[in-house]
């Protein structure tokens, strides 16, 4: 039996430890690394097509219909809006770095238990926030290393984002650190973080959270927001 990441978080987030969250993140990034290793770009990563195989106990990436060679051009913007990289929104080609941006949003979703930009009703508001560097507010209790990697991955400049290989190595190091913590260390860490990361199960209709073709007009160049501004 399989379940997507969105439903998995709805059902389990308040019981998830950071040890488990980081392990999930690592498996997703590793799956993306293997896609990129084949010189392919996914182009439509979101929590609806990240699947967990309950029988085999592992995470993988599905919906490879728009996945293709890195040199494959695209004449339209297709994707799930909150996960689309700012440079793609303003009309540039999808790249490996565009997938990495989507990974950052998935990392945030795993940390928060909520879909990104859940309080926005209109796509245009999300578009302007993304290109102006506004990102989802980082959840209190997020481990510093995880937070820093997430911020690197959603940088407005694609060249400043790590590639999938470098990201997999860094998250694996963090994963191993948590796997090797003593029971006492884990208990203290997880109790603190579970309390700070408890969320209400309050989800909108998810009208925005589906993949479709988008047509945006002339937009300004993407930029990073002033430090501390986030939503």
Please report where in the chains the tokens 């109790």 appear, as a residue: 191
Which one of 4, 44, 71, 184 is the catalytic residue?
A: 44
- Give the whole-angstrom CA distance, residue 195 versus residue 150: 21
State the virtual CA torsion across 108, 110, 115, 120 in degrees, nearest 10: -20
b/e map of 149-175 (b: 16 or more CB within 10 Å)?
bbbbbbbbebeebbebeebbebbeebb
Q: Catalytic: 44? A: yes
- Give the whole-angstrom CA distance, residue 46 versus residue 176: 25
Catalytic residue set: 44
């Amino acid at each position: 039996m399989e379940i997507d990441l969105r439903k998995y978080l709805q059902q389990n987030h308040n019981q998830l430890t950071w040890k488990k969250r980081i392990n999930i993140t690592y498996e997703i990034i590793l799956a993306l690394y293997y896609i990129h290793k084949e010189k392919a770009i996914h182009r439509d990563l979101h929590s609806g097509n990240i699947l967990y195989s309950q029988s085999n106990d592992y995470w993988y990436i599905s919906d490879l219909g728009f996945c293709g060679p890195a040199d494959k051009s695209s004449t339209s913007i297709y994707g799930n809006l909150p996960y689309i990289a700012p440079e793609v929104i303003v009309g540039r080609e999808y790249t490996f770095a565009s997938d990495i941006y989507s990974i950052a949003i998935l990392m945030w979703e795993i940390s928060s238990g909520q879909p990104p930009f859940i309080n926005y009703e209109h796509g245009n508001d999300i578009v302007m926030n993304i290109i102006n560097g506004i990102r989802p507010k980082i959840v209190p209790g997020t481990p510093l290393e995880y937070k820093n990697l997430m911020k690197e991955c959603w940088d407005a400049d694609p060249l400043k984002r790590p590639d999938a290989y470098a990201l997999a190595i860094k998250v694996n190091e963090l994963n191993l650190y948590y796997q090797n913590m003593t029971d006492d260390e884990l208990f203290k860490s997880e109790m603190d973080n579970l309390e700070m990361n408890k969320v209400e199960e309050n989800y909108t209709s998810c009208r925005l959270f589906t993949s479709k073709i988008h047509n945006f007009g002339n937009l300004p160049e993407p930029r990073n927001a002033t430090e501390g501004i986030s939503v």
